Amino acid sequence: SKENGSNSYQFYTEDMHKRALERLEIENCLRKALEKCELSIVYQPRFNIRTGYIVGAEALVRWNHPVLGSISPSVFIPIAEETGIIHDIGKWVLYNACKQTYYWYNNVDTDFQISVNISAIQFQRDDLVDIVKKVLSDTGLKPTMLELEVTENTIMQKTEKTLNNIKELKEIGVKISIDDFGTGFSSLSYMKEFHFDNLKIDKSFIQDIGVSYSNESIISAIISMAHSMGMTVVAEGVETEYQLDFLITRNCDEVQGYLFSTPLTAEEFMFNYLCNDKI
């Protein structure tokens, strides 16, 4: 048909079809990505805002497919979660990040922490604590050097399993932080019973510093309430000096973002930070 409406309809369905195929292709490739060694881990340093010293790093998974190229975790992690592939990917990231950190152990302070992202559905499983314990004993890493980042939607479900998993992990000394804080709907009082060690303010708020006065007030409120609940506050996605200065005046504890460093390969990370650990 020559009608615009039907042309755009056809375009729309073709586009949807193409996207469905792409998704299926990603899903099929993702299943093989682990055995084909296409996954890797990059490390983004995190710093004490006052001293400037490095306090840890966040492990972030990367996927480089020989044909599809580099695929962002924000694309493949949701697919991995829907298909359950996340359980194997999650274990792989945890093991390799801990092994790498143990290897760095002699070059870092004992309070250095490696942060690993854990999906909500990994928290729904009975074997999470056993997996973490086994990774720690296999790699030799001290539990206090491992921090697990859980997103707000993980705790929104507040199932007994999630609560128990968090409690048991804390009992063996593993640190737990709440990631992307501010994007969900949980109140700070709701979070009290989880006893998180750290709170990471979502980067969407940090990007609003100097732009949205109301979001600046929210950041200040989050920091003071988190402190009153005994949590350390980390700002993620810090890109400018202006944002850093604001966060210093509001008593934020730690920072992470492109202003300091993008995520780095293990080699780059070691070269840049573990020989000379000041910003």
Residue 177 binding target from ligand C2E, Ca ion, none, CB below 5 to 8 Å by type: none
The phi-psi region of residue 42 (left if phi > 0; otherwise alpha if psi is between -120 and 50; otherwise beta) is beta
Contact 237, 206 (CB under 8 A): yes
Is residue 180 within the footprint of Ca ion (CB under 5 A)?
A: yes
Contact 44, 269 (CB under 8 A): no
Task: Give whichever of 93 and 129 is closer to Ca ion, judged by the CB atom.
Answer: 93
Task: Give whichever of 29 and 77 is closer to Ca ion, judged by the CB atom.
Answer: 77
Task: Give whichever of 18 and 266 is closer to ligand C2E, judged by the CB atom.
Answer: 266
Residue 179 CB, shortest distance to ligand C2E, in Å, is 5
Residue 202 CB, shortest distance to Ca ion, in Å, is 6
Structure tokens of 34? 């682990």
Is residue 179 within the footprint of Ca ion (CB under 5 A)?
A: yes
State the burial class of residue 143 (Cβ atoms within 10 Å of its Cβ: 0-12, 13-18, 19+). middle
Is residue 149 within the footprint of Ca ion (CB under 5 A)?
A: yes
Instruction: Collect contacts of 270-279 with beta carbons under 8 A, ≥24 apart.
Output: 270/104, 270/107, 272/45, 273/45, 273/54, 274/104, 274/107, 274/108, 275/107, 277/53, 277/54, 277/108, 277/109, 278/52, 278/53, 278/54, 279/47, 279/52, 279/53, 279/54
The size of the interface with Ca ion (CB under 5 A), counted in residues, is 5
Residue 58 CB, shortest distance to Ca ion, in Å, is 6
Query: What is the C-alpha separation between 18 and 9, in angstroms, rounded?
Result: 14
Residue 219 CB, shortest distance to Ca ion, in Å, is 15
Task: Give whichever of 202 and 226 is closer to ligand C2E, judged by the CB atom.
Answer: 202
Residue from 117, 122, 177, 232 touching Ca ion (CB under 5 A): that is 117
Residue 93 CB, shortest distance to ligand C2E, in Å, is 4
**Extended beta strands in the chain, E state:** 39-48, 54-65, 69-71, 113-118, 146-151, 175-181, 198-201, 232-235, 254-255
Task: Give whichever of 10 and 166 is closer to ligand C2E, judged by the CB atom.
Answer: 166
Could you list the residues that contact ligand C2E (CB under 6 A)?
44, 60-61, 72-74, 77, 90, 93, 117, 119, 179-180, 203, 236-239, 257-258, 263
Residue 77 binding target from ligand C2E, Ca ion, none, CB below 5 to 8 Å by type: ligand C2E
Residue 239 binding target from ligand C2E, Ca ion, none, CB below 5 to 8 Å by type: ligand C2E
